[in-house]
Amino acid sequence: MSSRLYNWLDARLDLKPVQRTLLDEPIPGGASWIYVFGSVTLFLFVLQAATGMFLALYYAPTPDHAYDSVRFIETDIFLGWMVRGLHHWGASAMVVAIGLHMLQTFLYGAYKAPREVMWMVGVCLFLIVMTFAFTGYLLPWDQTAYWATQIGINMVGTVPLIGDIASRVLRGGEILGALTLSRFFAIHVLFLPAILLTGIAVHLFVLRRVGPAGPWTDDRASLGAETFAPRQVYMDAVVIAGVFLVVAALAWSIPLPLTDKANPSDTSFVPVPEWYFLFYYELLKYVHGPLEPLATWVLPLCVILVMLFWPFIDRNPVRNPIRRPVALGSGLLFLLVVFGLLGISIRNLYAVPRADPAVARGRTVYAQLGCVGCHRIHGEGGAVAPDLSTVGDTRPDREWHLKHFRDPQSVSPGSFMPKFPLTDRQLNDLTSYMLSLKRAT
């Protein structure tokens, strides 16, 4: 049936030239698992687009409603939390995939003539992906999103001549507010996807004109070429399926809690960026005072320019990395610095205990309801009702607590605890506080 349909369409649309262009491209040296990262990155972009369109159906890009709309997606939309998780972890996976794709290209010397333009377009695509991450970070409109974006825009403001204008354009005025949020939303869902799609088209066009570079050794390349289909397609499909399963497993098993709603007056809040910005976050800790512009824009600009024009900096015509010690050493040094700073930042973050803001809010709800009059926690409170000092150990089931707070009689017949008119957020916060009450270890 499928072959008959294909023949019917081919007779009308002349599909065979398209098939030859997409699937019959010769790969020097044959198919390889090391060539899968480009296809994986493209798949992850499609995943981001699909999940992003679903999220946009319910998201409201205004300071009054953005936070609540994200919480609504998390709690009230069927599998909304899963889609948001796919979008979140898909972004991380996309950063990893495009990074590995560039690393493979660098290692194989596939940026050398005649592929300089393809490398430069790839660097631009990498920068666009990182801009996606930055603009999307503000959209939940919680404390972390607000203050991390504020720091990022302030860094843009340190650039001479254009910094003040650029920061005003990003904010949409003097302060980070409603115009900033709507502007970042428009950039994230309209401008950047259009730019990225154009960049991908140019990247693929250049690839078709110059062809894949293939292996770095002449011996391997002399084995002959192999078409993209079927073996390379199979390898790409296997890795794509594996990546999707990992992303789906992360989305399913790791919740994405929001911090408190953005509060511009709370200047004491210290935001922590996503892991792929942590190395830069750590670097900024070591540069202060007059040297601050060195870290905020001089060094990043230099790194971007070196990456962009690397094909013209590395003039060694040999592609074998062993015979390119300067290029290999430079790349290794760059990775050591980035991952060294990343490791230090992660170590420092885990060294500081981080409290769940829902627990603090739940403690407040507990006090407001006067629960201390009946229940005792760690020796404080009444003794009329059960002691809650270790209820997180004795009752670890979150659903039980939620049901109990909605209707105490339903799980504890004969209980004299009244029904309190609690919102969903208060129910979840109070439950988080109960689950935090455990024996000291």
pLDDT for 221 equals 63
- What are the backbone dihedrals phi and psi of residue 382, each rounded to the nearest 5 degrees, phi first? -80, 170
Gap between the Cα atoms of 227 and 39, Å rounded: 15
pLDDT for 222 equals 64
Assign residue 326 the CATH number of its domain: 1.20.810.10
Q: What pLDDT, in 10s, does the model give residues 28-64?
A: 888 999 999 999 999 999 999 999 999 999 999 999 9
Question: Of the candidates 355, 189, 349, which has an alpha carbon nearest to the alpha carbon of residue 275?
Answer: 349
Q: Tokens 């259009």 label which residue? A: 194
Structure tokens at 168: 């005003």
Tally of CB atoms within 10 A around 325: 10
User: Among residues 318, 351, 384, which one ends one of the domains?
Assistant: 351
Structure tokens at 30: 């044959």
Tally of domains in the chain: 2
- What are the backbone dihedrals phi and psi of residue 419, each rounded to the nearest 5 degrees, phi first? -80, 125
Gap between the Cα atoms of 157 and 164, Å rounded: 5
Three-state secondary structure call for residue 321: helix
Q: In which domain, by residue range, is 408 found?
A: 357-436
Tally of CB atoms within 10 A around 406: 13
User: Among residues 305, 323, 351, which one ends one of the domains?
Assistant: 351
Structure tokens at 401: 């607590």
Q: Examine the domain organization and report whether 382 and 337 are in the same domain.
A: no
Q: Examine the domain organization and report whether 286 and 213 are in the same domain.
A: yes
Q: Examine the domain organization and report whether 180 and 249 are in the same domain.
A: yes
Asked if pLDDT for residue 254 goes beyond 70, the answer is: yes
Gap between the Cα atoms of 365 and 414, Å rounded: 24
Q: What angle do CA 213, 216, 217 make, to 5 degrees?
A: 125
Query: Exposed, middle or buried by CB within 10 Å (0-12, 13-18, 19+), for 350?
Result: exposed
User: Among residues 319, 351, 383, which one ends one of the domains?
Assistant: 351
User: pLDDT band for position 396 (50/70/90)?
Assistant: confident
Three-state secondary structure call for residue 227: strand
Q: Which of 130-139, 266-275, 321-330 is predicted least confidently? A: 266-275
pLDDT for 189 equals 96
Q: Yes or no: say if 69 and 59 are a contact pair by the CB < 8 Å rule.
A: yes
pLDDT for 157 equals 87
Q: What is the percent of the chain where pLDDT is above 70? A: 96
Q: Examine the domain organization and report whether 362 and 347 are in the same domain.
A: no
Q: Examine the domain organization and report whether 329 and 396 are in the same domain.
A: no
In a domain, 67, yes or no: yes
pLDDT for 239 equals 98
Q: Examine the domain organization and report whether 72 and 163 are in the same domain.
A: yes
Q: Examine the domain organization and report whether 375 and 240 are in the same domain.
A: no
pLDDT for 219 equals 67
Q: Report pTM.
A: 0.81
Structure tokens at 435: 């689950």
Q: Examine the domain organization and report whether 289 and 159 are in the same domain.
A: yes
pLDDT for 188 equals 97
